[in-house]
């Protein structure tokens, strides 16, 4: 049974809408699963590129920030990744956060929620492949929410997922059901 689920905000850009979407995703999850949901914002984890001398699979972390990141991820029973789709992929900050660790991800059930002008399917596919490489257990359903071109071009950092993504809520609920059974 899952008791602690980490919801990782996969974007660190200014004017991002990812925190609002992540909060909404967590609120839907709380309705479905009897677990504690913790929002993890990558802005709070400014992990430098390639700062550790050893490969992550060894677990030989030298920096305090990587050690803290390791503890944060190890403390979760499952992970929900909320990510925008950038140029058919996912943000570099999210890839860097994933690549900082190895064992801490292994065996954890994972759920992928994406959004973008085309719903984020290509982002989800790439992220699914990487999570599988990290020995995580991604659920089959990967909700992807489409943003209008006007919303993207406005870049105002605002969205109301309850109304804007209402049509896709059932897919999100199905994904949480799969996560709960994993």
Give the separation between CA 109 and CA 76, rounded to whole angstroms.
10
Which is nearest to 95 in space by CA: 138, 52, 61, 47?
47
**Range of the structural domain that residue 129 is part of:** 4-181
The whole-number mean pLDDT for each consecutive block of 10 residues of the chain, a chain of 182 residues, reads: 96 94 98 98 95 93 97 98 95 97 98 94 98 98 92 80 92 97 94
Overall number of domains in the chain: 1
CATH code for the domain of 124: 3.40.50.360
For the chain, the straight-line distance linking the first and the last C-alpha, in angstroms and rounded, comes to 8
What pLDDT does 154 receive?
Answer: 78
């Amino acid at each position: 049974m899952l008791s602690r689920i980490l919801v990782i905000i996969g974007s660190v850009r200014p004017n991002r809408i990812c925190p609002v979407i992540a909060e909404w995703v967590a609120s839907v999850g709380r309705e479905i699963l009897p677990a504690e949901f913790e929002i993890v914002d990558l802005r709070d984890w400014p992990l430098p590129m390639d700062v550790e001398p050893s490969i992550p699979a060894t677990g030989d972390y030298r920096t305090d920030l990587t050690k803290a990141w390791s503890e944060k991820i190890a403390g979760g029973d499952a992970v929900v990744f909320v990510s925008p789709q950038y140029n058919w992929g996912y943000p570099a900050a999210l890839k860097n956060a994933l690549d900082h660790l190895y064992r801490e991800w292994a065996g954890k059930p994972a759920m992928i929620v994406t959004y973008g002008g085309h719903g984020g399917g290509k982002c989800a596919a790439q992220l699914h492949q990487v999570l599988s490489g990290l020995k995580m257990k991604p659920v089959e359903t990967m909700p992807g929410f489409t943003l209008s071109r006007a919303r993207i071009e406005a870049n105002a950092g605002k969205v109301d997922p309850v109304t804007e993504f209402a049509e896709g809520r059932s897919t999100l609920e199905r994904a949480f059901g799969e996560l709960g059974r994993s």
